[in-house]
Amino acid sequence: MRIFRYLPLINHHKMKKTLITVLILAQLILMRCQAPSTKEERLEWWKDARFGMFIHWGPVSIKGTEIGWSRGREWSIEEYDNLYKQFNPIQFNAHEWVQTAKAAGMKYIVFTSKHHDGFCMWNTKYTDYNIMNSPFKRDVMKELSEACKKEGIALGFYHSTCDWHNPDFPLTSPGGTVKREVSNLDRYTEYLKNQSVEIIKNYGPLLVMWYDVPQQFDSIRGQGVIDHIRKIQSNILVNNRTGAKGDFDTPEQRVGSFNNKRAWETCMTIGRQWAWKPDDEVKSLEQCLHSLIRSAGGDGNLLFNVGPRPDGTIEPLQVERLKEMGQWLGKYGYAIYGTRGGPFKPTDWGVSTRKGNKVYLHILRWAGGNSEITIPDIGIPIKNVVFAGGKVAGSKKAENNYLIAIDEASVQPINTILEIEYEGDVMNVDPVEVKPQSVSFMKSVNASSNLKASWINHEWVDLKAVNNGEWSGSFWKAAEDDKQPWIEIDLGKAEKISKILLYESGTNINSFELQYKDGTTWKTFHKGTAIGEKCEISTDPVETQHIRLQITSFSDVPGIYEMMMFN
């Protein structure tokens, strides 16, 4: 500030010039102070950011099928490989995309530079199979890079490790299941390295290079790629899909498990497909926000995918949903951004995040009525507890726990946040288990279709998902030939059940029954029709150890995200 004391002594022109110089220098110093300079600092910035936009896009959007994977499957290889000759997304506007990400509260974007189909979305000198040879003839990655820099959004690129179009890669379509008679993996590796460097030099500095599906790449070859690009940008982040470990893990289509020792990022679609799909089902606002909140509570990030249409625009319904997420984050983002997961591990009712001497309990599901949440004593006294907004919540110490009163009037539809202020810093407290609210959480499960956990049409199908507390990603799905699908939960002991929550994957169930086991006989105690996004059932108490959901009619193969039982 002392600089300005002497400005009146110089003439107006010099004063104006000096002011501009001072402001520019100040801005440069500020930018230097804020910009993460080391890889470790960049990783911490990325963890603080918590929320990013994934974008899968390419000529395949013309067909509305899955990028890369539909090559040689839904469409012949020749037809797929020539789609770029029709690709002319004249309504593409990079600034609109970036503004959508900002409106959603996202802090970074990861865009598909090249998927497994080998088509390159930038002006690359290493292959003619790129967007500059389409009717569009515009470098979308350059435009996106410029828009991100203007709007202050960090940028990274998804770049497929495998390439089913390149003749040097040993595998080809469909799905990388066909082995080429002639290939040259070493030469292909150089191609991958060269393109990666080209991207970083042309559009960097970048936040991340996000590789995928290494297939023929082992850890040594994958680490070679990472080492090579770090000669160009030493602080760039790299995920775990080159074949090498990289900087962070990438659970897909499901929220990752709690892990504060190794960075991770859930990648998940807002609909059912990575690339654009006509009339795609869009997740509810509750699902979308729960995915983000549960990721943060597990100490991970959420990379949330949109698939732009063939004209270059993002589906209006997807845009609207993202804006709704941004509106929520505008009010409650302080409990997400810059936090770390814990100190309480995720449970069926929700998760916790922490920052300094504060813990934020995110109550995502509540059985209803006036009750209490039990949290362990972490060895630091609680100073006060309030609901987000300032209303004081009652709390009391009981042996090795704290009991926090929840009154039904304070419960919010999507997430009820309790702010707990401790008398000391909570960041170094080791994570602890929390008592669940439901009696079904993580109990033994059986089903008519007890399929092995696996990928089915790019969705993670897992029977254990039906009572793990997370209902926006993985789910149970009946087998195609299962005509009388059912799911059974063994509660471990007899419980009096009076409330059940059901979450369906899709809207295929037309009718169902809830049954309890009486000796060796299954008896129906509730009949229902559609389940849909969420079905809440209150009944007269039924005392039993075993509960079964029997699906009696359906329009297409049914799936269930979650079943919760309360006494």
| pLDDT tens-digit map of 280-299 | 999 999 999 999 999 999 99
pLDDT at 6 over 70: no
> Does the pTM exceed 0.95?
no
Higher-confidence residue: 8 or 180? 180
pLDDT of residue 35: 54
pLDDT at 71 over 50: yes
Q: Which of 32-41, 51-60, 74-83, 109-118 has the lowest mean pLDDT?
A: 32-41
| Beta-strand runs (E) in 223-327 | 237-238, 265-269, 301-306
492-503: pLDDT as tens digits? 999 999 999 999
**Residue 9: pLDDT band with limits 50, 70, 90:** very low
Q: Which of 189-198, 255-264, 399-408, 484-493 has the lowest mean pLDDT?
A: 399-408
pLDDT at 23 over 70: no
Average pLDDT over the chain reads 92
Mean pLDDT over 139-164 rounds to 98
Query: In this structure, are residues 426 and 359 in contact, taking their beta carbons and an 8 Å threshold?
Result: yes
Query: In this structure, are residues 51 and 302 in contact, taking their beta carbons and an 8 Å threshold?
Result: yes
Higher-confidence residue: 205 or 1? 205
In the structure, how many helices (H) and strands (E) does the chain have? Answer: 9, 26
Mean pLDDT over 37-66 rounds to 98
pLDDT of residue 7: 31
Mean pLDDT over 297-324 rounds to 98
Q: Which of 187-196, 311-320, 505-514 has the lowest mean pLDDT?
A: 505-514
Rounded CA gap, 337 and 362, in Å? 14
Higher-confidence residue: 19 or 253? 253
3-state SS class at 524: strand
Mean pLDDT over 84-105 rounds to 98
Segment holding 514, helix H or strand E: strand 509-518
pLDDT of residue 404: 93
432-474: pLDDT as tens digits? 999 888 999 999 999 998 877 777 777 778 888 888 887 767 8
Rounded CA gap, 524 and 545, in Å? 14
pLDDT of residue 370: 64
pLDDT of residue 405: 92
Summarize the chain as % helix, strand, coil (round to 5).
25, 30, 45
pLDDT of residue 440: 92
Residue located via tokens 């990379």: 303
> How far is it between the farthest Cα atoms of the chain?
98
180-230: pLDDT as tens digits? 999 999 999 999 999 999 999 999 999 999 999 999 999 999 999 999 999
Distances (CA, A) of 182 to 78, 160, 179, 190, 337: 19, 21, 9, 17, 50
pLDDT at 271 over 60: yes
32-44: pLDDT as tens digits? 334 568 999 999 9
**Residue 234: pLDDT band with limits 50, 70, 90:** very high
pLDDT at 553 over 90: yes
Query: In this structure, are residues 518 and 543 in contact, taking their beta carbons and an 8 Å threshold?
Result: no
Q: Rounded to 5 degrees, what are φ and ψ at 12? A: -60, -40
Query: In this structure, are residues 254 and 470 in contact, taking their beta carbons and an 8 Å threshold?
Result: yes
Planar angle of CA 434, 435, 439, nearest 5 degrees: 140
pLDDT at 369 over 80: no
